[in-house]
Amino acid sequence: MTVAQDQPNALNFECETGNYHTFCPISCVSWLYQKIEDSFFLVIGTKTCGYFLQNAMGVMIFAEPRYAMAELEEADISAQLNDYEELKRLCEQIKRDRNPSVIVWIGTCTTEIIKMDMEGIAPKLEAEIGIPIVVARANGLDYAFTQGEDTVLAAMAQRCPTAAEVKTEDKEERNAIKKLLNFGRQKDEVSQTDSEYADHPPLVLFGSLPDPVVTNLTLELKKQGVQVSGWLPAKRYTELPVIEEGYYTCGVNPFLSRTATTLMRRRKTKLIGAPFPIGPDGTRAWIEKICSVFNIEPQGLEEREAKIWASLEDYLELVRGKSVFFMGDNLLEVSLARFLIRCGMTCPEIGIPYMDKRYQKAELDFLVQTCSEMGVPMPRIVEKPDNYNQLQRINDLQPDLVITGMAHANPLEARGINTKWSVEFTFAQIHGFTNARDILELATRPLRRNNNLKDLGWNKLVKETV
């Protein structure tokens, strides 16, 4: 179905199959259990889900991870066992062994198929064992890869306290960001720092990022006089940010549309629609949009961005004039394509599993602006792409680089197409000014590898062998 017809200055949107071809969304456990340090994740599914998690997170298997599988057997699936009693037994064991501040139940495809009433069981069990239980459906039937995090954060957004629910003496203690920034300072220094902020409504940022990136983005906003009241998720469940009606919220990732909707509809917050802080161009636009909402004049961002671009010149020489094709996997495709186009690449097609045009409107507008400024054609955006058709288009276009899910990387490499796994961008630190180099390090690795092989005469050796 074509949503927009071919127009020279407009993006063209298409939807091909209606199916997801992505990494499984329950993999969100791998970064969320590390981010939320006092949590425990219980994935309710079959042995297949367990095997997937072991493979997806194999490098962490010996680090005593705070996640486990509740394996559904034949008796569960045929409803011969009591779901409540089985889950109660497991959660009591988790409480006994780990005593977490929160237990997160992750639903899978199987819990959807057998219609397990997790939302009905959780409140009763929570009251009985005395530990909060958050239910998140992260099944691959309804959600794409990174939307697993979206469902968890949307569920946690409803657990964020209001100011009335937090004792006065606890308010400062809950703000982990403020504690981190004020570490080692005297009280008079802290009060002096507080006076540097502009007078604006509270701002809560949402999206799970590594702690160094959280600190970096918080400091970037602090330089402009913008104070971050909290992050969702926080490092600890007990430090979830206070959210009240009228608070401002802003996302850092393009796959968090459900969380944004929950914050607006359930918690009555005001969403700041900004491009996402990926690449120096996106980071500057993200900060400028937040500043504009609070009537703050941003300072020094143009010079900061120019300095970052200058430091990337060695990578930019490798990508200028080359083309990149996105098959679609992690919903970061539009932001990454916009950044790579700014780097001098062209992008004939952006495949994406799911597109929320309202939540990503600012990013899409920024993509159009970037293409116009760089003088390159607008990419075609294909939602839920048909992989067979995509492979035919890749064969015709012969792009210099294809960013794809792991399933198609080796077949494309065998046909002489350079590929990069999209999942690597998901797990890498790609947000903010200072991490732009890491994006280009990943994107150019296959190009640099092939250049090195050419220098070694590898192609000639292969032909002689054949």
Residues 343 and 389 in one domain: yes
Residues 175 and 117 in one domain: no
Residues 188 and 139 in one domain: no
Residues 244 and 346 in one domain: no
Residue at 388 is within a domain: yes
Residue at 3 is within a domain: no
Instruction: Say whether pLDDT at 438 is over 70.
Output: yes
Residue at 155 is within a domain: no
Name the strands in the sheet holding 203-206, side by side, starting at the edge strand that comes first in the sequence. Answer: 228-232, 203-206, 248-251, 270-271
pLDDT per residue as tens digits for the range 361-391: 999 999 999 999 999 999 999 998 888 889 9
pLDDT per residue as tens digits for the range 381-421: 999 888 888 999 999 999 999 999 888 888 888 888 899 99
Q: Of the residues 247, 262, 297, which one is the last residue of a structural domain?
A: 297
Residue at 6 is within a domain: no
Full residue range of the structural domain in which residue 124 is found = 25-143
Q: What is the model's pLDDT at position 5?
A: 42
Rounded CA gap, 422 and 191, in Å? 44
Q: What is the model's pLDDT at position 2?
A: 40
Q: Of the residues 297, 323, 338, which one is the last residue of a structural domain?
A: 297
Residues 93 and 241 in one domain: no
Using a pLDDT cut of 70, give the percent of the chain over it.
Answer: 84
Rounded CA gap, 241 and 231, in Å? 6
Taking each helix axis from N to C end, the angle separating 211-223 and 279-293, rounded to the nearest 10 degrees, works out to 50
Residue at 152 is within a domain: no
Q: What is the model's pLDDT at position 6?
A: 47
Residues 365 and 273 in one domain: no
Residues 82 and 180 in one domain: no
Residues 92 and 229 in one domain: no
Instruction: Say whether pLDDT at 194 is over 60.
Output: no
Residues 178 and 283 in one domain: yes
Please state, as a whole number, how many other Cβ atoms lie within 10 Å of the Cβ of residue 407. 13
Name the strands in the sheet holding 380-383, side by side, starting at the edge strand that comes first in the sequence. Answer: 12-15, 380-383, 349-352, 324-326, 401-404, 419-421
Radius of gyration from C-alpha coordinates of the chain: 23
Q: What is the model's pLDDT at position 463?
A: 47
Paired residues of 323 in beta bridges: 346
Banded model confidence at residue 9, pLDDT cuts 50, 70, 90: low
Rounded CA gap, 420 and 409, in Å? 7
**Any idea what the CATH number is for the domain that residue 181 is in?**
3.40.50.1980
Mean pLDDT of 309-321: 91
Q: What is the model's pLDDT at position 21?
A: 77
Residue at 151 is within a domain: no
Instruction: Say whether pLDDT at 268 is over 80.
Output: yes
Name the strands in the sheet holding 102-107, side by side, starting at the edge strand that comes first in the sequence. Answer: 67-71, 39-45, 102-107, 133-137
Q: What is the model's pLDDT at position 165?
A: 77
Q: Of the residues 88, 111, 143, which one is the last residue of a structural domain?
A: 143
Rounded CA gap, 54 and 117, in Å? 26
Residues 249 and 372 in one domain: no
